[in-house]
Amino acid sequence: MTVARTARRQPSQLGIAYDCRQQMSAMNLMRWLQPCVAAMVVLDPQYRGVLDKMQYGNEGKQRETSRAKLPTMSEYQIALLIEQAERVLKPGSHLLLWVDKFMLAEARHLALFAYAADLKRVELFHWNKLRPGMGQRGRCRSEYLVIAQKPPISAKVWRADRRIDDSWPEASDRSLHPHAKPHQLLTRLVRLLTKQGELVVDPCAGSYSTLEVCKLTRRKFLGCDLVTPL
Ligand SMILES: C[S@@+](CC[C@H](N)C(=O)[O-])C[C@H]1O[C@@H](n2cnc3c(N)ncnc32)[C@H](O)[C@@H]1O
């Protein structure tokens, strides 16, 4: 018996568009991408479910309501997104994964790579948010950026920006989003790790900081957020 194969529909036919803000689920966006098309995937999921549950380093305090309202993702869902990231990345290209102190201190970020054995963690950046945070012990003003590469693994591309510092102080514009990420750091990494015209994917785009960086650096952008675009 022959099975009729239907042609795979392009994102534009599905109402998915490049270089803009759109409301949809991260997994739907990632699943519709062809393999090996992206030069970079930026993944900044909402881990707050875990953080709220564990009250890590901040026992007894209420979290800010703006953060609590954002939809969260389980670690299993994030691991499935990373599996998709591995699939859609071109060989030699990079995943940028934001993790918080809880994920890192408990080494939970490693389990997020359970379905993406080919992605090798090659770099870790520390972001100093330059604003006082909360915390019963150390006051939390840091987040971390894990950078993983799809084989072939090589550090050659980093030679173009020898001055990039892995401990990065930068205030982000929190009027845009409670979790807006540092624009200058992202710009530097996009310039370093991708080329003009290449595709950068951000399926949990929040304030669309990645879209703004892509416009500035002339990269193609594909991204979405579950929440209505700003
Ligand atoms: C940490 S924020 C991203 C912030 C962003 N990097 C920025 O610079 O503004 C995470 C975002 O993921 C979104 N989100 C949560 N679950 C999602 C899902 N299943 N699909 C798409 N977006 C989701 C939330 O609405 C939130 O805006």
Q: With CA atoms as reference, report the closest residue to 86 among 62, 51, 60, 121.
A: 121
Q: What confidence tens digit (pLDDT) does each residue in 59-76 have?
A: 555 445 555 578 899 999
Q: With CA atoms as reference, report the closest residue to 52 among 39, 36, 70.
A: 70
Q: What confidence tens digit (pLDDT) does each residue in 28-55 have?
A: 999 999 999 999 999 999 986 555 545 5
Average pLDDT, the chain: 88
Q: Omega before 91 cis (within 30°)?
A: no
Q: What confidence tens digit (pLDDT) does each residue in 147-183 have?
A: 999 999 999 999 999 999 999 999 998 888 889 999 9
As beta bridge partners, residue 202 has 223
Span from the CA of 225 to the centroid of ligand 1 (angstroms): 6
Residue nearest to atom 2 of ligand 1 (CA): 206
Give the ligand 1 atom nearest the CA of 210: 8
Confidence of residue 105 (pLDDT cuts 50, 70, 90): very high
Beta carbon of 44 within 6 Å of any ligand 1 atom: yes
**CA–CA dist 34, 14 (Å, integer):** 14
**CA–CA dist 13, 146 (Å, integer):** 34
Q: Where are the alpha helices (DSSP H) in 89-229?
A: 101-105, 108-111, 183-193, 209-217
C-alpha torsion angle, residues 109, 128, 171, 203 (rounded to 10): -10
